[in-house]
A and B are shown apart, each in its own frame.
Chain A
Amino acid sequence: MKRTIVPFGPQHPVLPEPIHLDLVLEDEKVVEAIPSFGFIHRGMEDLASKRDFNDYLYVVERICGICSYMHGMSYCEGAERIFGVEIPDRAKYLRTIWCELSRLHSHLLWLGLLADAFGFEALFMQSWRIREKILDMVEDSTGGRLISSVNLIGGVARDMDREMLAGFVAQFDKMESELRSLTKVFLKDSTVRARLFEVGALTKTDAILYGAVGPMMRASGIELDTRKLGYAAYGDIDFDIITSSGCDSLARCEVRIGEIFQSFRIIRQAVDKIPDGEIYIPVKGNPKGEATVRVEQPRGEALYYMKANGTRNLERFRVRTPTFSNIYSLLKILPGAQFADVPLLILTIDPCISCTER
Chain B
Amino acid sequence: MPKFSKSPWVMHYDGSSCNGCDIEVLASLTPLYDIERFGVVNTGDPRHADILLITGGINYHNESVVRQIFEQMPEPKVVVAVGICACSGGVFRDCYNIKGGVDTTIPVDVYVPGCAARPESIIDGLVQALDVLEKKSAASAALSEGESNAQQS
A128 to B45, CA, bound (A): 24
In the bound complex, do residue B14 and residue A18 qualify as a contact, i.e. CB atoms below 8 Å apart? yes
Residues 37-59 of chain B, each 1 if its beta carbon lies under 8 Å from chain A, else 0: 00000111110000000001101
**Which chain A residues border B128 with CB–CB below 8 Å?**
none
Q: Is A145 an interface residue (CB 8 A)?
A: yes
In the bound complex, do residue A18 and residue B15 qualify as a contact, i.e. CB atoms below 8 Å apart? yes
A11 to B54, CA, bound (A): 11
Stretch at the interface among A37-45, A194-202, A209-217, A283-291: A37-45
From 80 to 97 in chain B, residues with beta carbon under 8 angstroms from any chain A beta carbon are 90-92, 94-97
Q: Is B1 an interface residue (CB 8 A)?
A: no
**Which chain A residues border B116 with CB–CB below 8 Å?**
65, 144-147
CB B52 to nearest CB in A, in angstroms, measures: 10
In the bound complex, do residue B97 and residue A41 qualify as a contact, i.e. CB atoms below 8 Å apart? yes
Q: Of all chain A residues, which has the CB nearest B27?
A: A128
From 1 to 58 in chain B, residues with beta carbon under 8 angstroms from any chain A beta carbon are 12-27, 30-32, 42-46, 56-57
Q: Is B65 an interface residue (CB 8 A)?
A: yes
A352 to B14, CA, bound (A): 13
In the bound complex, do residue A42 and residue B32 qualify as a contact, i.e. CB atoms below 8 Å apart? no
Residue picked from B14, B42, B43, most chain A C-beta under 10 Å:
B14
Q: Is A12 an interface residue (CB 8 A)?
A: yes
In the bound complex, do residue B14 and residue A16 qualify as a contact, i.e. CB atoms below 8 Å apart? yes
CB A43 to nearest CB in B, in angstroms, measures: 4
**Which chain A residues border B98 with CB–CB below 8 Å?**
42-43
From 1 to 25 in chain A, residues with beta carbon under 8 angstroms from any chain B beta carbon are 10-14, 16-18
Q: Of all chain B residues, which has the CB nearest A132?
A: B32
Kindly identify which residue among B21, B43, B59 contacts A13, using a CB–CB cutoff of 8 Å. Answer: B43
CB B140 to nearest CB in A, in angstroms, measures: 25
Kindly identify which residue among A46, A132, A354 contacts B96, using a CB–CB cutoff of 8 Å. Answer: A46
Q: Is A74 an interface residue (CB 8 A)?
A: no
In the bound complex, do residue B15 and residue A62 qualify as a contact, i.e. CB atoms below 8 Å apart? no
**Which chain A residues border B59 with CB–CB below 8 Å?**
39-42
In the bound complex, do residue B24 and residue A39 qualify as a contact, i.e. CB atoms below 8 Å apart? no
**Which chain A residues border B14 with CB–CB below 8 Å?**
16-18, 40
In the bound complex, do residue A59 and residue B44 qualify as a contact, i.e. CB atoms below 8 Å apart? no
A41 to B56, CA, bound (A): 11
In the bound complex, do residue B115 and residue A129 qualify as a contact, i.e. CB atoms below 8 Å apart? no
Kindly identify which residue among A42, A64, A132, A147 contacts B95, using a CB–CB cutoff of 8 Å. Answer: A42
Kindly identify which residue among A42, A64, A129, A147 contacts B92, using a CB–CB cutoff of 8 Å. Answer: A42
**Which chain A residues border B45 with CB–CB below 8 Å?**
13
**Which chain B residues border A42 with CB–CB below 8 Å?**
16, 57, 59, 92, 95, 97-98
Q: Contacts A42-B57, A50-B94, A128-B27 known; A62 to B16 CB distance under 8 Å?
A: no
Q: Is B135 an interface residue (CB 8 A)?
A: no
In the bound complex, do residue B19 and residue A64 qualify as a contact, i.e. CB atoms below 8 Å apart? yes
Kindly identify which residue among B16, B17, B23, B44 contacts A41, using a CB–CB cutoff of 8 Å. Answer: B16
**Which chain B residues border A66 with CB–CB below 8 Å?**
19-20, 23
**Which chain A residues border B94 with CB–CB below 8 Å?**
47, 50
**Which chain A residues border B13 with CB–CB below 8 Å?**
11, 18
Q: Is A58 an interface residue (CB 8 A)?
A: yes
Q: Is B141 an interface residue (CB 8 A)?
A: no
Q: Is A63 an interface residue (CB 8 A)?
A: yes
Residue picked from B16, B18, B91, most chain A C-beta under 10 Å:
B18
Q: Contacts A64-B18, A147-B116 known; A43 to B27 CB distance under 8 Å?
A: no
Kindly identify which residue among A16, A38, A58, A132 contacts B19, using a CB–CB cutoff of 8 Å. Answer: A16
Kindly identify which residue among A10, A12, A62, A129 contacts B20, using a CB–CB cutoff of 8 Å. Answer: A62
9 extra interface residue pairs, beta carbon distance < 8 Å, beyond A42-B59, A65-B21: A11-B46, A14-B44, A16-B25, A18-B13, A18-B62, A39-B16, A43-B92, A47-B95, A63-B18
Query: Which residues of B are interface residues toward A (Cβ below 8 A)?
Result: 12-27, 30-32, 42-46, 56-57, 59, 61-62, 65, 69, 90-92, 94-98, 115-116, 118
Q: Can you list 30 contacts pairing A with B, beta carbon distance less than 8 Å? A: A10-B62, A13-B42, A13-B43, A13-B45, A16-B14, A16-B25, A17-B22, A39-B16, A39-B59, A42-B16, A42-B59, A42-B98, A43-B98, A44-B92, A46-B95, A47-B95, A63-B18, A65-B22, A66-B19, A66-B20, A109-B23, A125-B30, A128-B26, A128-B30, A132-B30, A132-B32, A145-B116, A146-B20, A147-B116, A352-B19
